[in-house]
Amino acid sequence: MNRKLLLNAVVKYLGGLVILGLLIFVPAGTLKFGQGGLFMAVLFIPMLIMGLVMAVKDPELLEKRLNGKEKENTQKAVVALSALMFAGAFVMAGLSCRFGWLRLSFGGSIAAAVVFLAGYAMYGEVLRENAYLSRTIEVQEGQQVVDTGLYGVIRHPMYTATILMFMAAPLVLGSWISFVICLIYPAAIAARIGNEEKVLEEGLKGYTEYKQKVRYRLVPFIW
């Protein structure tokens, strides 16, 4: 892995750690926010491990995952909406801790953390299966349709994984109000998928046939 990529990865990792910490703990008014600490651990420890694995085994994939500049206007809008939603949810989680608004027990947060980590494990498996998995919507040179493993069951397993993770996240933080805010996320993902599949059908050979073979987008037998 080259120095530039390493520096980019380190800066984004530490930047995310600091920004998220500020969004959660400043509104909480204390660092003694156990559920906040739990969430930071289940998010950033696996992220570090996954990043190190990609850095060693597949630096090209890591570079793709670090690139978040969308080209499609629809995708830019979805990313912006998601960012605002998550920022609001994290701030509200901190405020909920400070003022005791609609709190989930710590035991409930532990259960949510298990779901979050299950989503993370699924996310890691998707990265293993699909070497073309960029953060942005694009058709890459030489890209082929992946139709095995999880992709043989649903067309967008990465989004299923992220929905599991980010619907569990506010509950790890112990905030029912934040959970309600995050209900926007599945709707945003549905909009993203609609645009993404249009791009893939137009630019990726075999994708139309793949859609006919694998009928469900996110959840088998449902959608």
For 116-166, how does the pLDDT look when each residue is reduced to its tens digit (9 = 90+)? 999 999 988 888 887 666 555 555 555 777 878 888 889 999 999 999 999
pLDDT at res. 132:
66
Which residues, in sequence order, are CB contacts of 197 under 8 Å at separation 6+?
155, 207, 211
Stretches in the chain below the pLDDT threshold 50: none
Closest CA to 66 of 144, 7, 118: 7
Where exactly are the structural domains of the chain?
3-213
| DSSP code at position 69 | -
pLDDT at res. 121:
93
pTM of the complete model? 0.85
Helix (H, G, I), strand (E, B) or coil at 143: coil
pLDDT at res. 107:
95
Structure tokens at 63: 């570079």
Strand intervals (E) in the chain: none
State how far the Cα of 91 lies from the Cα of 142, in Å rounded to an integer: 42
The letter for the amino acid at 40 is: M
State how far the Cα of 7 lies from the Cα of 15, in Å rounded to an integer: 12
pLDDT at res. 180:
96
Q: How many CB atoms lie within 10 A of CB 221?
A: 6
Q: How many CB atoms lie within 10 A of CB 166?
A: 19
pLDDT at res. 56:
80
| DSSP code at position 29 | T
User: Which element (helix H / strand E) includes 160?
Assistant: helix 157-172
What is the CATH architecture assignment of 3-213? Up-down Bundle (1.20)
Q: How many CB atoms lie within 10 A of CB 94?
A: 23
